[in-house]
Structure 1
Amino acid sequence: MVQFGAESVALAGYFGSAVGAVQHLGELFGVFAFASSGALLAVRRDFDIFGIVVLACSTALGGGVIRDLLIGRTPPAAFVDLSYLWTALLAALVIFFWHPPRRLTKGPLEVADAFGLGLFCVTGTVVAYTAGAGAPSAALLGLVTAIGGGVIRDLLGGQTPNVLRPDQIYAVPALLGAICTAVLLHFELYHAWTGALAALGAIGFRLLALRFRWRAPQARRRPEPRGHLT
């Protein structure tokens, strides 16, 4: 990758500078998208500027930090290459000064979250694979990268994480995108454009699930015995 930091150098050696640069740009776009979703949730919750920055940064960087700790990369890339932090802070400030009315933040939040989810499931898988993880493990770590920040955001924002809600098809698009990326990497078919297609597929899946209100299956509710006290 182009000289952005230690992770960039490692990816440049694995893929070449062109694909490495696209990988880094994908990560930065994902950071901006996820940070925007965290900042928008903070606006919905009427947080102050510190709360907006905290939610933006934790959403944008949380999944990558968890992934890096799991693969033994310390300190995590977010603390070495400050372009990630600056991008998250930029998104937080943009939302702080130019956000829609609180009642209209749901749509932009969901779209930003979908873009972050799709981008991170691909870039997270690539980072894990180039760090030595096998294809199955890399796909799982890509999933963790994609959903980790959103879980932190939702918990700090005082709501049930999307990944646990039956009315939010959240983990499935990320997992499919990560699996596609891992397969491409394993068979040496991963290029900038194939990675972009995997990310767009995950983003599109998530947006379609939101548009048509798809639901995940739930356990069948059994009738309570008569006289049962709740």
Structure 2
Amino acid sequence: MSELLDLVGIFVFALTGALMGVRKRLDVVGMLVLSEITALGGGVLRDLVLNVPPAAFQSLGYILTPVLATVIVFFWHPHVTKVLPAIMVLDAAGLGLFCAVGTEKALTYGLNPLHACVLGVMTAVGGGILRDILAGEIPTLLYDRQLYAVPAMVGAALRAVLFEVHLQGWVTTLAAATVAFLLRIAAMRRGWRAPLAKGVRPQD
């Protein structure tokens, strides 16, 4: 079940990477690179820090799912763009899932709660950062419009707190993921964003 949820999150993240490739007028190879790096980059970085074999290289499904997403976007990107609002909802679900799962894995490997939260957030947003850098964009994490990193931080922190009070298992992971998901959805609908420095006006 957990691997299936992982693959769903990977597929949605991969779609956003491939769509970035379309917007940047990249060829199919460039689209595939952005798709793979968006979907798998955060988890690979987490596992490298934990000094364990990256999960992305333990199953063919992790590599092939972004290939499928790239093929879909390559042939039908106008249709995919039309359902982008639904994709963004799924993206929020992937964000919540990855931040919770990443934090749990880090805690399981003995990291303290703070460091585990950092790795949980990295799992959720690391691929997007790498995608933006490769595409020549300022990473959206640096001007967190509509709160992307903050929900991941909240979800990771909640998962760490539950772990510390000895509440473990998939139910607690799902609870933390759900909180991050709902916060992200609320931010998208209400236009919430992280505060700027005092006296600095937001750009339109």
Please state which band the TM-score falls in when normalised by the shorter chain: 0.7 to 0.9
CA distance, structure 2, for counterparts of residue 110 and residue 133 of structure 1: 31
Contact 1:33 1:116 in 2 (8 A): yes
Contact 1:26 1:123 in 2 (8 A): no
The residue matched to 1:122 in structure 2 has which SS? Answer: helix
Q: For structure 2, list consecutive stretches of 5 or more residues without a partner in the other structure.
A: none
Task: Report deviation, 1:48.
Answer: 1.8
Structural mapping, 1:182-201, within 5 Å: 182-201=160-179
Q: What one-letter code is carried by the residue in structure 1 that aligns with 2:68?
A: L
Question: What's the CA shift string for 1:102-153, capped at 9, x where partnerless?
Answer: 8757535533432321111011112212222222221211011111001111
- 1:213 aligns to 2:191 (yes or no): yes
Match of 1:57 in 2: 36
Runs of 4+ in 1 over 4 A off after TM superposition: 101-106
Distance 1:109 1:164, change over 3 A: farther
TM-score (norm 2): 0.87
Q: Match for 2:95 among 117, 122, 126? A: 117
Task: Report deviation, 1:34.
Answer: 1.0
Q: For structure 1, list consecutive stretches of 5 or more residues without a partner in the other structure.
A: 1-21, 223-230
Q: What one-letter code is carried by the residue in structure 1 that aligns with 2:36?
A: C
Distance 1:64 1:84, change over 3 A: same
Higher helix share: 2
Contact 1:44 1:102 in 2 (8 A): no
CA distance, structure 2, for counterparts of residue 76 and residue 30 of structure 1: 16
Task: Report deviation, 1:29.
Answer: 1.8
Match of 1:70 in 2: 49
- 1:134 aligns to 2:112 (yes or no): yes
Q: Match for 2:9 among 16, 22, 30? A: 30
Match of 1:83 in 2: 61
CA distance, structure 2, for counterparts of residue 123 and residue 101 of structure 1: 31
The residue matched to 1:195 in structure 2 has which SS? Answer: helix
Match of 2:148 in 1: 170
Percent identity, please.
46
Q: How many residues align?
A: 200
Question: What's the CA shift string for 1:91-112, capped at 9, x where partnerless?
Answer: 2222222323587575355334
Contact 2:10 2:40 in 1 (8 A): yes
The residue matched to 1:100 in structure 2 has which SS? Answer: helix
Q: Match for 1:96 among 54, 60, 74? A: 74
TM-score (norm 1): 0.78
Question: What's the CA shift string for 1:14-46, capped at 9, x where partnerless?
Answer: xxxxxxxx3322322221121111112222222
Match of 2:24 in 1: 45
Q: Match for 1:143 among 121, 134, 138? A: 121
Contact 2:73 2:80 in 1 (8 A): no
